[in-house]
Structure 1
Amino acid sequence: MKKKFSNLLLALGDILLINLSFILAFMIRFDGDIINHPIAPQYLPAYFDNLMVITLIKIAIFYGFGLYRSLWRYASIEELIQIVSTSFFATTGTVTYMMIMQQKLPRSIYILTFMLDILLIGGIRFSHRVLKSMNEQSVFNDRNLKRVMVVGAGQAGAMVIKELKTHANLQSKPIVVVDDDETKHGRRINGVPVLGNRHDIKKLAEIKRIDEIIIALPSVSKPEIRQVVEQCSKTKCKLKILPGIYELIDGKVSIKKIRDVDIEDLLGREEVKVELNKITGYIQNKTVLVTGGGGSIGSELCRQIAKFSPQKMLILDIYENNAYDIQNELIRNYPDLDLEVLIASVRDKKCIDEIFQRYRPQVVFHAAAHKHVPLMEANPKEAIKNNVFGTLNVAEAAHEHNCEKFVLISTDKAVNPTNVMGATKRIAEMIVQTMSKISKTEFVAVRFGNVLGSNGSVIPLFKNQIAKGGPVTVTHPEVTRYFMTIPEAVQLVIQAGAMAKGGEIFVLDMGEPVKIIHLAENLIRLSGFEPYKEIDIQVTGLRPGEKLYEELLMDEEGLQQTRHSKIFIGKPILIDHKVLKAELTHLKEIISGDGKDLRDYIEHMVPTYRRTS
């Protein structure tokens, strides 16, 4: 009701302004004297006789072009263009009508009324915006507003500034813009000055008393974003970022799409490009089993596999809570997905055989595993039961029931392992490599490093320590690790599965290794604190079985390139299936007993294993 009343008032105002435009046009055309001018009186009757119709024509065109639907308190260049185009067509409509009625007016009158309509009709609307802006400045004292720096003087930066100024409820004031393009320095964007480049961020943040930095560079590469984030993290400002253009599906910038800067932004890795047609070919309309489907990697596998329309998806996990969570998520997001959750252990050979007999999965992603190095170092029997014999159970069932593909999720810790967990994963790789020689199933392993944010990984640990005020604990100042985001790792795993021919160990390009202490420092800064001053970092010493650095290949494996730039193949090592089978039988006997010689026998099975205890 209030809106209709406002529009009615606006339309009544337009009626007055339309006719005011004509009167002013006559006065300008006839030097201010429309009564005594020798020519003016012969044209005035043509206007007054058609005043009502001319007014109705213009109001109808204004309505048709949406001048009564716009929110003029947010008026901008788009609304100005709308007023100009509407005024043009309204004048054209008037001229057409007068010609049909054979009523003559000087051409200059039409030109003048067109320009006056823009000035008066536009002016009354933009005055709403001006009054609103003045009112906001009077209501909100600058001291109560967040002072914002925008990184990026392009279109995205301009839109961010506009939205910050438009939405008073955000209580944010854009103060300064930085951009590496020197031609923009000294200029203004929506009234905000561009004063420097990325290297001036820290200095400008101090001088201008900046509270928050918004990085508005959606088209810039990930490595460049990382460099900008590193500069921003030297300040104490809250950091936010506009997602990359690939995330902005509609291409539109809005405050809602701006998110906090996360540790992933400091990895500086380009987005993975997958060959969708290849992936779709081996997943679509197939029954797909994901073991460990409730875990960090397993659940992301389920999310991404669901996109490729499998005929049926099976989630197998021993931990019901995680399985329940991913089940509910998939039901919500993919209501047509044929989904079944199986609570079972990969250690239970009979149960695994029954599952394969009943569901006949065609593609298996084996992600079920114990992964925590210190825990497995203290519980080597459990590591063997789950990571070795659990893998053997699932792999043999896949072979016996003629699965098409079996993809083992492995780890860089399987390379020259110094811990039981890594050695068990290497034995799992050996199982996969030997099974490929005797089976029609394409058995492969995919090896990658740490994933950011996975359950029990270093990032959640650091965040928890920071939330408690520190200290953040790092085992050694020189420890380095390879990192990927969970979605990136899983995309490459699925892509590697499409390339599988059998027996390969696919190695993912993990980028450059990251020092864990640098990761801790950056995470502290991103949380708004200063490392070593506000949040301390303590070095606790290497844990049992822990390496200073991880490797992705063994010396004897070599490396072959694939058609995908981020996926490589380690050269298969010759392993005799019968010999491995006999060794596994003896290993089972050892863990069934007191396990006294367990580490010695692991060293026998994995010659590259070098235990630290």
Structure 2
Amino acid sequence: MVPRLMVVGHDLLMVWLCWEALHHLRYAMLPNPPSYPLWSPEIAIVLVAQGLVFWWVGLYRGLWRFASVPDLGNILKASLIGLLALALGLALYNRLGSVPRAVLVMYPFLLVGLLGMPRLMFRAWKDNQNTDSKNGIALRVLILGAGRSSEALVRDLRRSGAYQPVGLLDDSARLQGTKLHGVPVLGGLSDAATIAKETAAKLIVIAMPSLDAANMQRVVAICESTGLPFRTVPRLVDVLEGRSLPGELKEVAIDDLLGRKPVTPDWKLIRGWLGGRTVLVTGAGGSIGSELCRQCARHGASRIALLEVDELALVTAQTELHRAFPDLEIISVLGNCGDPAVIQHALKTAEPDAVFHAAAYKQVPLLEKQLREAVRNNVLATEAVARACREANVGTFVFISTDKAVDPVNVLGATKRLAEMVCQTLDDRVSTRFVTVRFGNVLDSAGSVVPLFREQIRLGGPVTVTDPEVTRYFMTIPEACQLIVQAAASAAHASIYTLDMGEPVPIRVLAEQMIRLAGKQPGKDIAIVYTGLRPGEKLHETLFHAEELYRPTSHSKILEARARDASTEIITRAVSLLQTAVANYDNDELSRILRAAIPEFSPSGQNADAGATIVQFPAREARHTR
């Protein structure tokens, strides 16, 4: 880095040189040119005036190492303002009597060249020096795309010295044959395999972060055809949300290929609701709970209470939040949220304005044989937390539910559906606002199929899929949590919201794509084995119950359901009976009570549901018909 005093000295020298050169040039046009002194009070006034302007516009806050077009703009600004300052100073000194008008006109433009050229030359020299110093070990990189991301990528790669861009590929005909920072655009994307061999590339980087899923799948297939490792630049939303670092090259993730378009919540609404408030999250150490904490902290919550039964998960969540948001007040409570004493203590300590109830058991096959624990945690704990929130007059209680609560065929769906009904009956439309949000599977959440497949691939296979035709709805964790907060910010009393999870994804396709992303071929390098539907599983999930009429909300990816009538007397009695059966560990009684409370619960049809209807999200269907 050039020392600051040397930069100041250089710039003042350029001002003096500019002023002298323009005077000599102007006087050289006269028949008998007068001599112009190398130093005079006039020159001193010019140097002081221009130097003060340089400092005032912040010219010395930039680094020559990273000089760019904005810096040239700042130099032009300083030169023009400096012209006014020195003209004012000289007018007070001698009324500009000895300064030719041509000098004043040409001064800012020559000064821009004298100040800007050394900066750009220094940057070019540093960039080339880094590349040359490591040229022997620099990795040769072929870049897919020749847009803005590629322009920034080429500069970053050269600056690092560890990579050498050897060419770019882009399908735009007008770009082919051109150069970007001296790197040629050698052809279209489909030429990748041939050009990679011709340029001896060792790595391919996809610099097209705005690609949709279909085009990303095509580009990934092209990369796979080269046999070379490939990476991608992160999307801007991932950088802003802290999931990626600027300039970081990351592996193509499975969610890049699953048709998930970025969600744009109403940030103004969310910040208006969360700003300065206190939030309590149960299950705060889990996949959804921890992300909800991050979203709330990011969008204005001043205090967050973490309630978690797993001590390691609680410590991890607390540490990550403190690192990312050092000014956030964090309250940690270790304990079971279903314990009335624990939830009352947490509410008394935190005094939250809103509670997100994310704590739950969610593993479908396991819960089929663990009915007592499923009821205790998913139903009774929810009832305990919801009732305590109403007694504490909490403003909003948000219950995180699942699409499996619609026409449930398994224990998870049934317990979640009953918990929804509990929340509905507790809403008296006066005090606490009870909100239910449903969504499907979450990519990379704890216990989900993605980490399972990833581990199976790492071990060399086989990858186990239940059925060739099975489909599921997927969302990313941040997307799900953003929509949860969005729904909660604008929700009505006793409302149920369903999130748009895109198109259902065949699990077989998901497995094949993950195998390919690992650089292997399905059926050749890694086998896929079909094991049959597990207890409690459907072939296809459904999003909507026939009696729940949905209407659009202010957000295109959120629909509000008209909640079905639920008898407070029946639900209260069911909860009481469940408490007794849980205390007696009476699974038969628990099963009987669930069936009686939820008429649509049909566990007998758990593996015969191959013909379940895949219902399109109404908001998307309406958009398609317009």
In the alignment, what sits opposite 1:34? none
In the alignment, what sits opposite 2:484? 493
Q: Deviations 1:348-393 (Å, cap 9, x if unpaired)?
A: 2454456556766553221111111122123121111111111122
Distance 1:414 1:522 in 2: 29
In the alignment, what sits opposite 1:154? 147
Distance 1:321 1:104 in 2: 76
Distance 1:325 1:392 in 2: 27
In the alignment, what sits opposite 1:517? 508
Match of 2:314 among 315, 323, 337: 323
In the alignment, what sits opposite 1:35? none
In the alignment, what sits opposite 2:35? 46
Match of 2:603 among 588, 594, 610: 610
Deviates more, 1:537-546 or 1:526-535: 526-535
Q: CA deviation at 1:411?
A: 0.6
In the alignment, what sits opposite 1:555? 546
Distance 1:277 1:133 in 2: 42
Match of 1:477 among 468, 480, 485: 468
Distance 1:438 1:78 in 2: 56
Give 3-state SS (helix, strand or coil) of 1:426's partner: helix
Contact 1:287–1:362 (Cα < 8 Å) also in 2: yes
Deviates more, 1:298-307 or 1:221-230: 221-230
Query: 1:207–1:425: structure 2 CA closer, same or farther, 3 Å change rule?
Result: farther
Please say if 1:271 is aligned against 2:262.
yes
Distance 2:13 2:327 in 1: 55
In the alignment, what sits opposite 1:241? 233
Match of 1:144 among 137, 145, 151: 137
In the alignment, what sits opposite 2:178? 187
Contact 1:416–1:610 (Cα < 8 Å) also in 2: no
Q: CA deviation at 1:173?
A: 1.7
Q: CA deviation at 1:331?
A: 3.8
Residues 362-441 of structure 1 aligned to structure 2 (within 5 Å):
362-436=353-427, 440-441=431-432
Deviates more, 1:382-391 or 1:150-159: 150-159
Query: 1:135–1:597: structure 2 CA closer, same or farther, 3 Å change rule?
Result: closer
Query: 1:65–1:377: structure 2 CA closer, same or farther, 3 Å change rule?
Result: same
Higher radius of gyration, 1 or 2: 1
Q: Calculate the aligned-residue CA RMSD, in Å.
A: 4.6
Give 3-state SS (helix, strand or coil) of 2:313's partner: helix
Distance 2:81 2:248 in 1: 37
Contact 2:306–2:332 (Cα < 8 Å) also in 1: yes
Deviates more, 1:262-271 or 1:403-412: 262-271
Q: CA deviation at 1:510?
A: 0.8
Contact 1:415–1:552 (Cα < 8 Å) also in 2: yes
Query: 1:577–1:163: structure 2 CA closer, same or farther, 3 Å change rule?
Result: same
Give 3-state SS (helix, strand or coil) of 1:144's partner: coil
Give 3-state SS (helix, strand or coil) of 1:162's partner: helix
In the alignment, what sits opposite 1:33? none
Residues 438-457 of structure 1 aligned to structure 2 (within 5 Å):
440-457=431-448
Match of 2:297 among 301, 306, 312: 306
Distance 2:368 2:539 in 1: 16
Stretches of structure 2 lacking an aligned partner (at least 5 in a row): 608-626
Contact 1:201–1:231 (Cα < 8 Å) also in 2: no
TM-score by length of 1: 0.79
Q: CA deviation at 1:14?
A: 6.7
Corresponding letter in the other structure for 2:224: K
Q: CA deviation at 1:280?
A: 4.9
Match of 1:508 among 499, 503, 510: 499
Distance 1:437 1:359 in 2: 23
Distance 2:238 2:532 in 1: 41
Corresponding letter in the other structure for 1:422: G
Q: CA deviation at 1:517?
A: 3.0
Q: Deviations 1:100-146 (Å, cap 9, x if unpaired)?
A: 79779997x999999998888877776656666666665444x7332
Stretches of structure 1 lacking an aligned partner (at least 5 in a row): 31-38
Corresponding letter in the other structure for 2:229: C
TM-score by length of 2: 0.77
Distance 1:500 1:146 in 2: 53
Distance 2:96 2:553 in 1: 77
Distance 2:97 2:344 in 1: 93
Corresponding letter in the other structure for 2:142: M
Corresponding letter in the other structure for 1:508: L
Contact 1:233–1:526 (Cα < 8 Å) also in 2: no
Give 3-state SS (helix, strand or coil) of 1:289's partner: strand
Corresponding letter in the other structure for 1:271: P
Distance 1:275 1:229 in 2: 32
Residues 457-468 of structure 1 aligned to structure 2 (within 5 Å):
457-468=448-459
Q: CA deviation at 1:485?
A: 1.6
Distance 2:473 2:415 in 1: 20
Distance 1:285 1:15 in 2: 51
Aligned-residue sequence identity (percent) comes to: 37
